[in-house]
Amino acid sequence: MFMDVFQAIVIGTVQGLTEFLPVSSSGHLVLVPELMGVSSSLAFDTVLHVGTLVAVIGYFWNDIVHMLGAFLSSLRDIPAGRFRRGIIEDPFKRLAWMVIIGTVPAGLAGVLFKDFFESLFSSLTAVGFFLLVTGFLLWGSENISRRVREKLPVEKLGVRESLIIGCAQALAIAPGISRSGATISAGLFLGFERELAARYSFLLSIPAILGAALIQIKDIGAGMDLLGASMVAGFAAAAVSGYIAIKFLLKLIKERDLYIFAYYCWALGIMILAAALI
């Protein structure tokens, strides 16, 4: 059955929270509509992702403006031979270029392995298994981060590190592997400051979510004719809950650890695998 406005708000809230909390939004988007007995659609899922895009752009608006200005400035530096020095000296230039570089692996994976990743979304077993993987990534990265005394600042975020974190984001196309969980874990494994790992993860999500939404944007028109009010409600719920999730996780990662999310992913993954077997 199609969803009503209340159900759309519930699913939109789940999407907004799980897009940025390290527990896999794709896994929950497969699971929650099934538990509620409603059918989602590609158009509705796309609208929810646009809602989370609005959340992350809204939260990091000042950073994004500075990064865009720094990026354009770095392009002007190329003829003058100041490009490399500018990237080294200006953290916003560095972040802008490293977000672009970090986006490449997910873009390539989405194009080259599109059919493979899409096939996983119909498998509860795959969702359960990859949630367990997310749990191990979070648990392992926390253990590594606790042992690193001198955390790396943004000046140490280079092409190699951006590509490694970008590869983690590419793996998160699979349902059950959290995009934020995989990218934050990769940053912690590399020894970066905890807040920087989360901040870079969220900034890296912008081109990824935007690209996925643009590819699927043609489906939204048809969905609006059928689920207009529900899509608007889901969009608003995803935007608001996504903003709250970003603020919450940035505060939590500075003050506490991520073990609770690892335990959650393990528990949910085990329950899904058990349900799939039954």
Q: What is the pLDDT of residues 116-149, one digit of tens each?
A: 887 887 788 888 899 999 999 999 999 998 888 8
Provide the whole-model pTM.
0.89
Round to whole Å and give the CA distance between 19 and 16. Answer: 5
Instruction: Please give the single-letter amino acid code of residue 3.
Output: M
What are the angstrom distances between the C-alpha of 79 and each of 76, 82, 83, 100? 7, 8, 8, 20
What are the angstrom distances between the C-alpha of 65 and each of 85, 97, 102? 21, 14, 19
Q: For the chain, give the number of residues.
A: 278
Instruction: Please give the single-letter amino acid code of residue 59.
Output: Y
Q: pLDDT tens for residues 212-232?
A: 777 766 665 555 555 577 888
In this prediction, residue 79 carries a pLDDT of: 60
CB-based contact 241:10 (threshold 8 Å): no
Q: Which residues, at least 6 apart from 29, have a Cβ–Cβ distance to it below 8 Å? A: 11, 14, 15, 40, 45, 48, 175
Round to whole Å and give the CA distance between 101 and 25. Answer: 24
Taking the CA atoms of residue 21, residue 118, residue 96 and residue 246 in that order, the dihedral angle to the nearest 10 degrees is -10
Radius of gyration of the chain (CA): 19
Round to whole Å and give the CA distance between 196 and 129. Answer: 29
SS (H, E, C) 110-145: HHHCHHHHHHHCCCHHHHHHHHHHHHHHHHHHHHHH
Those residues of the chain that have pLDDT short of 50 are: none
Give the residue ranges of DSSP H helices in 190-277.
194-216, 218-255, 259-277
In this prediction, residue 65 carries a pLDDT of: 94
What are the angstrom distances between the C-alpha of 45 and each of 58, 94, 179, 209, 264? 20, 32, 16, 11, 23
Round to whole Å and give the CA distance between 59 and 163. Answer: 24
SS3 for 157?
Answer: coil
In this prediction, residue 222 carries a pLDDT of: 55
In this prediction, residue 260 carries a pLDDT of: 94
SS3 for 217?
Answer: coil
In this prediction, residue 238 carries a pLDDT of: 94
